[in-house]
Amino acid sequence: MASRLSVRLRATLAATAIVAVALGVAAAVLVGVLTGSLTRSASNEAARRADATAEVLTGGVTVFREPADSVALTETSLLDPDVKIFAYPVSPASELSAWRSTATPAPRRKTPGTVRDFRSSTAPQPAEAAQWAPGDAFALATTPVDTADGVLVVQARASLEPTGDALRALWGLLLPGIPALLLLVAVLTWLAVGRALAPVSAIRTEMADITANDLHRRVPVPRSRDEIARLAETMNRTLDRLELAVSRHKRFVADAAHELRSPLAILRTRLELAPPGPLAAEALTDVERIQALTSDLLLLARLDAAEPACHEEVDLGQVTAEEAARSRPRPEIRVTLEVAADTVVLGSAGQLRRLVANLVDNAVRHANSTVTVRLASDGGEAVLDVCDDGPGIPAEHHEAVFDRFTRLDEARDRDAGGSGLGLAIARDIAVRHGGSLRIAGEDRGACLQARFPVI
């Protein structure tokens, strides 16, 4: 299913998500590396303290004992509360050798983490060592020492509180910093993508306004020589080809209609001068229809070509009254007028006359007995209503009747000779004069309503 989110929003969300994942991984790696580094530093400090105390003991410091199995304290341990010395009973040489080999490879040095080696060694661990050993708040290091008083175990500790403080400070920066950075990335991405897509919006707006009557317009080409600029250039070349094809088509229709007018006029004259008879009458009727169709095609070609019209003040009331009173093929249809005086619009008198004539002709062809033509002013607009009492137009065909060469099935029975161009021409003329033409709701029959701005 296609996403309904805009390209700008999708790009912003994608960029923010990628940066969020990258920052999350980087934060996890940073915290892990910093934790390991600080823990190793604390372990190294504990080992340094244990080794320093062991060297002091090896140098001949006297160990004071109370009971034989009690803890022996030295001056060093009294001065440093993070170092303690535990005395062991005399052990067999083989047991001491095994303990040394499992505890440490050197008698004086112990690598960080020796407290685990010490607790897993084969030598018995004194109860005092287990009681003194701190929890996770300290790093421990132990070193066995051979002295004149026997085997001693030096145990030193280093606080992990600085590590915790450093991690808390780091999290204090990461927790508000990462969301703030993501927000900054989202805002910058939104602005950058919006700036990059601004030419696309301009192209879309221009393309939406281009119609068949103004194919000379072109989309703006951005200065950047990127994909959007090439897209704009491609669209302009497509518009060039389309304008050329449409202009050729319009010119062909206009030329064909113009060239047909003279032969048809000559043919009509000859038929009118021919001896009267049924065949001549039918041929004359056909010629009249062809002449009307040719005239309609020529007018449509001019409207499509958007030729400059003669804009002058036109008394729409007078034009409406004259066209409504003109005789038509169905004299039994009564045409009533309700025309307001002094309704003046700006436009072409000939085209407005053609509009009124097409609307009245269409109503007369489909009316049962009466056609009503009303012209009034409404809020700065001239409203022309042409209504009939015929079968009406179904709602699903309210727009289709304005298409060219469109005739409804009901119209074909009554008007076999209609070309289907009358209403299409009327709407084009209305739009060309800044107005509109639509089908208004009526209880019976059809009512076509045209609106024009008045002056």
Does 121 lie in the same domain as 20? yes
- How does residue 247 score in pLDDT terms, banded at 50, 70 and 90? confident
Q: Which amino acid is at 27?
A: A
Boundary-marking domain end, from 115, 138, 163: 163
What's the number of domains the chain is made of? 3
Residues 13 and 158 in one domain: yes
Residues 369 and 388 occupy one common structural domain: yes
CATH number at residue 343: 3.30.565.10
Summarised one tens digit per residue, pLDDT across range 3-30 is 678 888 999 999 999 999 999 999 999 9
Question: What pLDDT was estimated at residue 22?
Answer: 95
Residues 150, 234 within the same domain: no
Instruction: Say yes or no: 15 and 152 in one domain.
Output: yes
Q: Check if the beta carbon of residue 69 is closer than 8 Å to that of residue 104.
A: no
Dihedral pair phi/psi, residue 131, rounded to 5°: -70, -35
The tens digit of pLDDT for each residue in 438-454 reads: 998 766 788 999 999 98
- Is the same domain home to 285 and 382? no
Same domain, 27 and 127: yes
Check residue 333 and report its DSSP letter: S
Once rounded to an integer, what is the mean pLDDT over residues 31-35? 92
Distance CA 131, CA 392 (A): 105
Task: Say if 313 falls within a structural domain.
Answer: yes
Q: Check which CATH number belongs to the domain holding 282 and give it.
A: 1.10.287.130
Q: Which of 239, 268, 301 is the last residue of a domain?
A: 301
Q: What is the pLDDT of residue 300?
A: 80
Length of the chain: 455
Whether 357 and 255 map to the same domain: the answer is no
What pLDDT score does 307 carry? 62
291, 333: one domain = no
**Residue 337 falls inside a structural domain:** yes
Q: Are residues 44 and 113 in the same domain?
A: yes
In a domain, 108, yes or no: yes
What pLDDT, on the 0 to 100 scale, is given for residue 93?
Answer: 41
Residue 247 and residue 127 share a domain: no
Question: What pLDDT does 123 receive?
Answer: 36
Average pLDDT over residues 269-281: 84
Strand partners, 382: 377, 452
The verdict on 322 and 293 lying in the same domain is: no
Considering the domain boundaries, does residue 288 fall inside one? yes
Q: What is the model's pLDDT at position 85?
A: 81
- What's the domain range around 114? 9-163
Identify whether 98 is part of a domain. Answer: yes
Q: Specify if 407 maps to a domain.
A: yes
Taking CA atoms, 94 is separated from 77, 87, 90, 101, 430, in Å, by 29, 18, 12, 11, 117
More confident residue, 77 or 153: 153
Least confident residue range of 270-284, 302-316, 328-342, 384-398: 302-316
pLDDT at position 408: 66
Q: Is the pLDDT of residue 241 over 80?
A: yes
Give the range among 108-117, 245-254, 387-396 with minimum mean pLDDT. Answer: 108-117
Q: Would residue 85 count as lying in a domain? A: yes
Q: Is the pLDDT of residue 154 over 70?
A: yes
* 47-89 per-position pLDDT tens digit: 998 888 888 877 655 444 444 443 444 444 445 778 888 765 5
| Mean pLDDT estimate for the chain | 79
* Sheet strands (E) in 316-429: 334-339, 344-347, 370-378, 381-388
In the listed set 163, 195, 213, which residue is the last one of a domain according to the structure? Answer: 163
Query: Whole-model pTM?
Result: 0.52
In this predicted structure, the answer to whether residue 97 has a pLDDT above a threshold of 50 is no
Contact 37, 167 (CB under 8 A): no
Q: What tens digit of pLDDT does each residue of 379-395 get? A: 889 999 999 988 888 88
Q: Report pLDDT for 88.
A: 56
Task: Provide the pLDDT for residue 127.
Answer: 42
Indicate the pLDDT class of residue 328, thresholds 50, 70 and 90: confident
Number of helices (H) and strands (E), helices first, in the chain? 12, 10
